[in-house]
């Protein structure tokens, strides 16, 4: 049983893989950039926060080192995969309808819609130095992730 809408987002985010493999990712994001963060950096930060002192009641806004548009990100993925993949813009209404048709709950749809609205407004566009603050190193770049994922055949 899912107790929180955020838990319902995980299947939604995983469903981006099939469209990428089919050559098209369509989202309601516009041209707002996103400083994509590598999940390994998230895990490394979590490990430090859970195992060391000095972080109690602190909040860290994690990000990757550089903001890219989804179009730029998809171009990088296509090049690394050696296949044609393109990004297309959907209206928020069209994306909500797609989510509902795919079986997402109304709570999950509202949460995804709010996330994309914040992204479109540019609220999440600026890279932060939180990874460096916690880990003492720069976060991995999106290109590093793309190279690793492409090597596994993630989009081909």
Count the domains in the chain: 1
Q: Residue 95 domain-assigned? A: yes
Each residue's pLDDT expressed in tens, for the chain with a length of 156 residues = 334 444 444 455 556 888 888 899 999 998 999 999 999 999 999 999 999 999 999 999 999 999 999 999 999 999 999 999 999 999 999 999 989 998 889 999 999 999 999 999 999 899 999 999 999 999 999 999 999 999 998 888
C-alpha–C-alpha distance, residues 8 and 111, integer Å: 9
The answer to the question of residue 54 being in a domain is no
Residue whose token pair is 């995969």: 81
123, part of any domain: yes
* pLDDT of res. 5: 40
111 assigned to some structural domain: yes
**Does 109 map to a domain?**
yes
Q: Is position 147 within any domain?
A: yes
Give residue 8's pLDDT: 42
156, part of any domain: no
Structure tokens at 124: 């999440």
98 inside domain: yes
pLDDT of residue 21: 86
What is the predicted pLDDT for the residue at 14? 58
Sign of the torsion formed by the C-alpha atoms of 62, 56, 115 and 106: positive
At 41 the pLDDT is 96
| CATH code of residue 68 | 3.40.50.720
Q: Please, how many CA atoms are within 13 Å of residue 50, restricted to the half-sphere of its CB?
A: 6
Please give the angle made by the CA atoms of 136, 138 and 142, to the nearest 5 degrees. 150
Domain with 23 in it: 5-49+61-151
């Amino acid at each position: 049983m899912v107790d929180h809408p955020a838990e319902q987002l995980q299947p939604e985010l995983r469903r981006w893989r099939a469209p990428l493999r089919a050559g098209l990712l369509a989202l309601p994001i516009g041209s707002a950039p996103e400083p994509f963060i590598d999940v390994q950096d998230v895990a490394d930060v979590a490990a430090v926060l859970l195992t060391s002192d000095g972080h109690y009641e602190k909040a860290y806004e994690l990000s990757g080192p550089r903001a890219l548009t989804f179009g730029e990100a998809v171009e990088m993925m296509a090049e690394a995969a050696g296949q044609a993949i393109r990004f297309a813009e959907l209206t928020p209404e069209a994306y909500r309808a797609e989510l509902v048709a795919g079986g997402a709950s109304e709570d999950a749809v509202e949460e995804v819609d709010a996330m994309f609205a914040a992204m479109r407004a540019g609220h999440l566009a600026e890279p932060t130095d939180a990874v460096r603050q916690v880990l003492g190193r720069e976060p991995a770049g999106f290109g590093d992730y793309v190279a690793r994922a492409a090597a596994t055949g993630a989009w081909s």
